Amino acid sequence: MFARQLHASAFLGFTLLTSTLLKAQPPNIVFIVADDMGYADLSSFGAPDVKTPNIDRIGEEGIKFTNIYAMGPECTPSRVSFLTGRYPQRVGGMECAIGTGNVGRYDDATRLAQAGDLGLPPSHAVLAPKLKKAGYHNAIFGKWHLGYEEKFSPLDQGFDTFIGFLGGNVDYFRHRELSDIDVYLSGRDILKSREGYTTDLITEDAIKYLNERRNDPHTPFFLYLPHAAPHFPFQGPKDDDGTMPSSKDWTKGSRETYLKMMESLDQSVGAVLEGIEAVGIADNTMIVFTSDHGAMKPGLNTPWRDYKGTLFEGGIRVPLLVRWPAKIAAGSTSDQVGSLMDLTRSFLEAAGTETGELNLDGEDLFTLALDGESLIERSLHWRAKRSPQVWSATRNGKWKWIRNENDGQVSEWLFNLDDDPHEKDNLLGEGMTPRQSAIYAMLRLNHEAWETNVAPNR
């Protein structure tokens, strides 16, 4: 089976990965995250109407992962998972995107917001602190969305540099949410507006940072670029009419505008790739591109069912592209089931950091996908709360169970993803076989046990 997923030359390159990893110079890591981008909004993943040659190049010169999940169907929980390597439920209050202006959107989140505690505590941060301990210099340019309070600053969570915005959505030209300015220009103390298109500003900061690395070539770095694009408000780089969108228009947008935002994002990625090459560090720089979850309309999640905010495949399946010339042979594809939560362990293992004592929930995706002889079955769990709804789901191998409770009304689904990857045929109900009934019961029991295991203590 594995031979069908990877070219032979790629496999030979991958088998060298684990044997030489700790002996090699730790790689620089550039992690680029699109915001609300759909699975099918890249040319290499089936986009019918937009060209993304620079983003696609990452996979062409490395590996394309086709079976990767976000650990939440919204921004905040997904980001918690890959910065901690753990299920976002363990933190408490982070199962839903933090609302504009620091609003909690379900009971625990509301309670924490009222107490000034809605955000990712530094005690839960794993990725940046561990890389820093391993000698990395860490920078973030872009979207944080893990707490507005001062105590949740990325500068207290292992990052040495932060320029960006705290909330979940900002005007691309005025860099504000609907009610307030929330752009950090320098460190933690200066809050003021800045001229330019958000995607361009993030890119400028990234290029400047890469050029600064010339002065310290022996210190590896972690460059985290969480973009705003193509998240609403839907504004292309030439769409500034001098005013903020009104609240009723904040989430409205055309596919045409969305494509302009995607093309701008692709150009940004191209500039970063060129910057890495100009500094002369391309060979041992790992570049990773993904989206934090599925798209809302007008984004495309084809061929998967539904959109952002749900636990159908369209809400949580994401593209993942990885390039690392020193270790990964070009032109390969993996269908290994994995998650963005796995990237924490993957990055730390690549950096030569011990992870055994960290109690991570994720696996080393590179080892799973690249060093085995067959695809490994995974068991993954989700829960997403946004009052009055609670979504729950478990995937175990080819089986997936989903539950939605909405204001007291409950719906459930059972799918065999091998036979029905597009989730069209709900196996629950009349005609359900004894085996399917047993699988349904098993998935529910497993999910209940998982919920007990990840219960937060705050």
Which positions are annotated as active-site residues?
75, 145
Cβ-proximal residues to 413 (8 Å cutoff; 6+ apart), any chain: 400, 401, 402, 403, 423, 426, 428
- Asked whether 382 and 391 are in contact (CB, 8 A), the reply is yes
- Asked whether 302 and 39 are in contact (CB, 8 A), the reply is yes
Element (H, E) at 415: strand 409-416
Q: Which two tokens stand for residue 240?
A: 């500034």
With vertex at residue 168, the alpha carbon angle to CA 30 and CA 39, rounded to the nearest 5 degrees, is: 60
Half-sphere exposure in the Cβ direction for 252 (13 Å, CA) = 5
Distances in whole angstroms, Cα of residue 451 to Cα of each of 49, 382, 385, 444: 41, 9, 13, 11
Half-sphere exposure in the Cβ direction for 379 (13 Å, CA) = 9
DSSP-assigned beta bridge partners for residue 380: 395
Residue type, 77: P
Cα–Cα distance, 324 to 327 (Å, whole number): 6
Cβ-proximal residues to 169 (8 Å cutoff; 6+ apart), any chain: 100, 177, 228, 231, 232, 233, 250
